[in-house]
């Protein structure tokens, strides 16, 4: 039916087969330019799905860009949210918004988030990014069409690695049961996922037979042959009493020589940037669209850079100001090293792998979370590493079985999936049975950055803390993450280590005291050349009050911000601050918290999490244990009841109000209220 005027029913624009092929070529070029401008994104999968995307949005589905919510439109649900750039460019080509805007991909406030947010752009049917969910939503939509006697059709785009998820097969069974012949699933069968070939990660074949066994009409095509794509869509429309699945065999990275069939290009931009063997220029040369001259490419990249400059200014203007700039490494003094916190987990799991009882379970992102360090330098450990595929619920149960038999299994995808998607399995099987399962709650908080809300764990502390038998640690940097990982390995029972992804300040050393279950007390002692040397750290059990003016209680990467806030408060206002690093949330150091309350009567909690997840735990400890002979002022700094969004990690830290500048401002205001 193609792009139509929803008021008159007339076709606005139609394309010949040859024109569609050319449009797909153009879309590939815009796609690679946008990903290059972003500096991140899923090159491989967006290129493999592009021909199908062009066929759907420019030729086949019934929709009207001038009326995005037209109730009779066909719906397309992208279950593979990480392929969002292809979706954005298709919608732009169809006329939903200017095509040049798509080069703002993954930039803060642009709307073109790393995974689609349907509330930000017209034409998006689903906010997605957590795999395995799109087909179920499409089923609900298709059922509604049957109920309302509507003739719109419903499509869903699936990845082949995504077929690891059990929820998808539940949906497949449901669609067949209700004979949803208005539903078409399209599987981008490019045979690669993050950890390698699909057949090595978790074997999918015989794939066609599996869908047939679930009662689906099946079609198999070359996903880069436009005539086959259109013919399959035509055939699917004629099938009665069955949903249809189209298995589209594609090449990951199609059209770009250095990315074709290369697993490394699952989630990254061209490695050489603008020019070189693996660059934007080489990609455009491979794609061979003559309209993309140097001048045009320069123009598009300038749109992206100009937009980023405006974002930078707006972000910087939002920061509270002081007499001088206290930002990380902005002056010759107070210098700090930055290192990805996840490296600490990698170092620990490599060391723990010496123990024959320790098992590692992977769910397709082992390198990203550093789980691969378990075997990277020790191939002989591969027989104790089990790739479960993209299947967090099953991973948790398999780990439980291993734990029951005396092993010490570590599990870990991204934290939002490790602690949310499989929460029932964690609650009922792991914690209720008190199984010795260890969870890597990786890439927690907003520091995941441009991947956006679906990949930013901001609710996991609350999800985990209230589970009986669970132990929970939230280390502040890579060194403390290494210590915390070793600590939970030695505990009998369920345990979690929550750590960030990107580079964060290294604020501890191997000699910094650490004891699981005891808070560290940190005090600012005066400016030094090295940031860490400006502070003194003691175990809470060894600390004597210095009559500080206030207390900052933090966990995870926010400990570094608390330290910098203490630095600002002393230098600007001569206020003395006690900092509690609550690296162990469960069991929590109640004595240290109550002592800080009684000594200072002013508490601010700081968390890279929905505000109150950590703060309310601290407040509960205070409310239950404080003897109210003195008043107390308490404030909480955290994410204010909202989802995350795409942006650079430090950008998000600033705009979400989680920096030392924001903490110092709040602390000064609260201190003035205390004195009044």
Containing structural domain, residue 585? 513-675
The pLDDT score that the predictor gives to residue 103 is: 98
For residue 303, is it within any domain? no
Residue 241's CATH number: 3.40.50.970
Say if residue 187's pLDDT is above 80: yes
Is 328 within a domain? no
Segment 621-635 shows an average pLDDT of 91
Look at residue 259 and tell me whether its pLDDT is greater than 90: yes
Given phi > 0 = left and psi -120 to 50 = alpha, else beta, which region is 364? Answer: left
User: Is the pLDDT reported for residue 117 higher than 90?
Assistant: yes
Do residue 361 and residue 486 come from a single domain? yes
Indicate if 252 and 108 belong to the same structural domain: yes
pLDDT tens column, 398-423: 999 999 999 999 999 899 999 999 99
Which pLDDT value is given to residue 447?
Answer: 83
pLDDT at 666 over 90: yes
322-346: pLDDT as tens digits: 999 999 999 999 999 999 999 999 9
Q: Domain containing 536 — which CATH number?
A: 3.40.50.920
Count of domains observed in the chain: 3
454 shares its domain with 525? no
Do residue 133 and residue 101 come from a single domain? Answer: yes
Residue 1 has pLDDT above 70, yes or no: no
User: For position 565, what pLDDT does the model report?
Assistant: 99
Q: Decide: helix, strand or coil at residue 292.
A: coil
Over residues 86-112, the pLDDT tens digits come to 999 999 999 999 999 999 999 999 999
Task: Convert the pLDDT of each residue in 34-79 to its tens digit.
Answer: 999 999 999 999 999 999 999 999 999 999 999 999 999 999 999 9
In contact, 507 and 528? CB cutoff 8 Å = no
In a domain, 186, yes or no: yes
pLDDT in tens, 269-292: 999 999 999 999 999 999 999 999
pLDDT at residue 145 in the model: 98
Calpha distance 192→214 (Å, rounded): 24
Distances in Å between the alpha carbon of 350 and those of 373, 377, 387, 403?
Answer: 5, 8, 17, 19
Residues 196 and 229 reside in one and the same domain: yes
- 309 in any annotated domain: no
Q: Is residue 438 part of a domain?
A: yes
| In the predicted structure, residue 535 carries a pLDDT above the cut 80 | yes
Q: What dihedral do alpha carbons 259, 263, 266, 270 form, nearest 10°?
A: -40
User: What is the predicted pLDDT for the residue at 676?
Assistant: 81
Quick one: 471 and 359 in the same domain? yes
Residue 2 has pLDDT above 90, yes or no: no
Domain end, chosen from 505, 539, 558, is at 505
Average pLDDT over residues 483-489: 98
| 387 and 406 inside one domain | yes
Q: What is the mean pLDDT of residues 144-170?
A: 98
Q: Is residue 254 domain-shared with residue 111, that is, in the same domain?
A: yes
Does the residue 120 lie in any domain? yes
For the segment 438-453, the average pLDDT, to the nearest whole number, is 94
Residues 499-517 have a mean pLDDT of 96
Query: With 90 as the cut, is the pLDDT of residue 468 above it?
Result: yes
Q: Residue 7 domain-assigned?
A: no
pLDDT of residue 27: 98
Quick: pLDDT tens for 229-238: 999 999 999 9
Strand partners, 503: 340
Last residue of a domain, one of 505, 535, 555: 505
For residues 582 and 653, membership in a common domain is answered with yes
The DSSP secondary structure of 129-193, one letter per residue, reads -STT-HHHHHHHHHHHHHHTT----EEEEEETGGGG-HHHHHHHHHHHHTT-TTEEEEEEE--EE
**Res. 502: pLDDT tops 90:** no
Q: Which of 505, 523, 557 is the last residue of a domain?
A: 505
Which residues in 104-127 are b (16+ Cβ under 10 Å) and which e? bbbbbbbbbbbbbbeebbebbbbb
Beta strand 244-249 with 183-189 is parallel
**pLDDT, position 63:** 98
**Does 329 map to a domain?**
no
């Amino acid at each position: 039916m193609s792009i139509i005027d929803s008021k008159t029913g007339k076709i606005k624009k139609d394309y010949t087969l040859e024109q569609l092929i050319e449009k797909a070529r153009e879309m590939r070029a815009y796609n690679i330019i946008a990903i290059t401008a972003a500096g991140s994104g899923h090159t491989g999968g967006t290129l493999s799905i592009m021909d199908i995307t062009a066929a759907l949005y420019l030729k086949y589905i019934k929709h009207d860009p001038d009326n995005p919510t037209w109730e009779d439109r066909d719906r397309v649900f992208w279950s593979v949210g990480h392929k969002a750039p292809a979706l954005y460019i298709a919608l732009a080509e169809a006329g939903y918004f200017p095509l040049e805007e798509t080069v703002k991909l993954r930039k803060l406030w642009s709307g073109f988030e790393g995974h689609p947010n349907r509330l930000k752009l017209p034409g998006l049917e689903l906010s997605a990014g957590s795999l395995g969910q799109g087909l179920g939503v499409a089923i609900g939509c298709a059922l509604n069409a049957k109920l309302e006697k509507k003739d719109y059709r419903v499509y869903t785009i699936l990845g082949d690695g995504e077929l690891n998820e059990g929820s998808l097969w539940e949906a497949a069974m449901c669609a067949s049961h209700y004979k949803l012949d208005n539903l078409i699933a399209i599987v981008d069968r490019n045979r690669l996922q993050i950890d390698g070939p699909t057949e090595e990660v978790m074997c999918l074949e015989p794939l066609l037979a599996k869908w047939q066994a679930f009662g689906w009409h099946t079609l198999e095509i070359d996903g880069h042959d436009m005539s086959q794509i259109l013919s399959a869509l035509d055939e699917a429309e004629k099938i009665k009493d069955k949903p249809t699945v189209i298995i589209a065999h594609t090449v990951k990275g199609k059209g770009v020589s250095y990315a074709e069939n290369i697993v490394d290009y699952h989630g990254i931009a061209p490695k050489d940037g603008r020019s070189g063997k693996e660059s934007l220029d080489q990609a455009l040369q491979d794609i061979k669209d003559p309209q993309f001259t140097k001048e045009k490419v320069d123009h598009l990249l300038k749109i992206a850079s100009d937009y980023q400059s405006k974002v930078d200014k707006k972000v910087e203007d939002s920061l509270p100001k002081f007499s001088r700039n206290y930002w990380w490494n902005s002056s010759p003094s107070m210098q700090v090293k930055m290192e990805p916190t996840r490296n600490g987990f990698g170092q620990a799991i490599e060391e723990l792998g010496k123990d024959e009882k320790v098992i590692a379970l992977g769910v397709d992102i082992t390198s990203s979370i550093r789980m691969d360090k378990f075997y990277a330098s020790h191939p002989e450990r591969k027989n104790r590493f089990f790739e479960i595929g993209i299947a967090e619920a099953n991973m948790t149960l398999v780990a439980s079985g291993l734990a029951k038999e005396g092993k010490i299994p570590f599990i870990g995808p991204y934290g939002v999936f490790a602690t949310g998607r499989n929460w029932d399995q964690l609650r009922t099987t792991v914690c209720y049975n008190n199984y010795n399962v260890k969870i890597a709650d990786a890439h927690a908080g907003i520091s995941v950055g441009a991947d956006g809300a679906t990949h930013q764990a901001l609710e996991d502390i609350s999800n985990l803390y209230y589970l009986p038998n669970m132990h929970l640690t939230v280390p502040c940097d890579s060194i403390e993450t290494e210590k915390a990982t070793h600590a939970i390995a030695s505990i009998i029972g369920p345990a979690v280590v929550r750590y960030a992804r990107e580079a964060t300040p290294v604020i501890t050393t191997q000699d910094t005291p650490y004891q699981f279950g005891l808070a560290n007390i940190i005090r600012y002692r005066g400016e030094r050349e090295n940031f860490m040397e400006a502070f003194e750290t003691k175990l809470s059990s060894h600390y004597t009050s210095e009559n500080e003016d206030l207390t900052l209680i933090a966990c995870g990467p926010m400990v570094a911000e608390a330290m910098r806030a203490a630095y600002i408060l002393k230098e600007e206002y001569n206020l003395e601050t006690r900092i509690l690093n609550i690296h162990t949330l469960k069991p929590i150091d109640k004595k240290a918290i109550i002592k800080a309350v009684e000594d200072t009567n002013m508490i601010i909690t700081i968390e890279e999490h929905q505000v109150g997840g950590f703060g309310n735990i601290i407040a509960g400890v205070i409310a239950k244990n404080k003897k109210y002979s003195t008043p107390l002022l308490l404030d909480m700094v955290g994410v204010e009841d909202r989802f995350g969004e795409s942006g650079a990690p430090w950008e998000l830290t600033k705009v979400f109000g989680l920096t030392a500048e924001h903490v110092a401002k709040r602390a000064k205001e609260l201190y003035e209220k205390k004195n009044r």
